[in-house]
Amino acid sequence: MHQGTMHRLDRITQTVAIVGFCGLVVMALLIFYDGVARTVNAPRISGFSDFGEFIFPLVIASCFPAGLLRQTNVTVRVLGNLFPGRFNASLELFASLVTLAFFAVLVWQFIDLSANYTEAGRTTRTIHIPLGPFWWITTAIMAICIPVQVYVVWSWLKACITGKPPELNQLSSAEMEHS
């Protein structure tokens, strides 16, 4: 895997995050309309709370792939900063392996949940929108995290072997330069 792979992954994960952000904007507009309608005694959105049942999981899931690739998750790097180089890379490799295992279990649970929602024909409470399809989309977004995190593991493994910082650091550095 080379830098082109990283940039393709970055483009994919950023696109997923933007789609999720659009879902958040839709929810914000619905909330705004509902608040104004309530204030001026206008017709309100029927089943308004139902929309959050499937939009919010999609929005939240869409943030994870980009966060994993850019390594913006909560991290404590005290030891790594004290002992840079291969020791730090080894700690990062271990952390990325644990993160990969966590997301593998999480995706497995999402598959189970989505299958249960689909089998049971689960719908939203008021307007009875089927939840299964939306949870399968959420699960697919979460599944993107697996190959992304495999790439992160590979990058840190390579850094352990070569002693050079991974290409992943370029994403964070480029982000800082544009700010």
User: How does residue 45 score in pLDDT terms, banded at 50, 70 and 90?
Assistant: confident
Q: For 84-141, what is each residue's pLDDT tens digit?
A: 778 888 989 999 999 999 999 999 999 999 999 999 999 999 999 999 999 999 999 9
| Predicted TM-score (pTM) of this structure | 0.83
Which of the given ranges, 46-50, 71-75, 80-84, 89-93, has the highest pLDDT on average?
Answer: 89-93
**Structure-token pair, residue 22:** 């659009």
Q: What are phi and psi of 77, to 5 degrees?
A: -120, 35
Domain ranges in the chain are 3-178
**Structure-token pair, residue 87:** 């020791």
User: What's the whole-number mean pLDDT along residues 138-166?
Assistant: 94
Q: For 23-35, what is each residue's pLDDT tens digit?
A: 999 899 989 999 9
CA distance linking residue 81 with residue 96, whole number of Å: 17
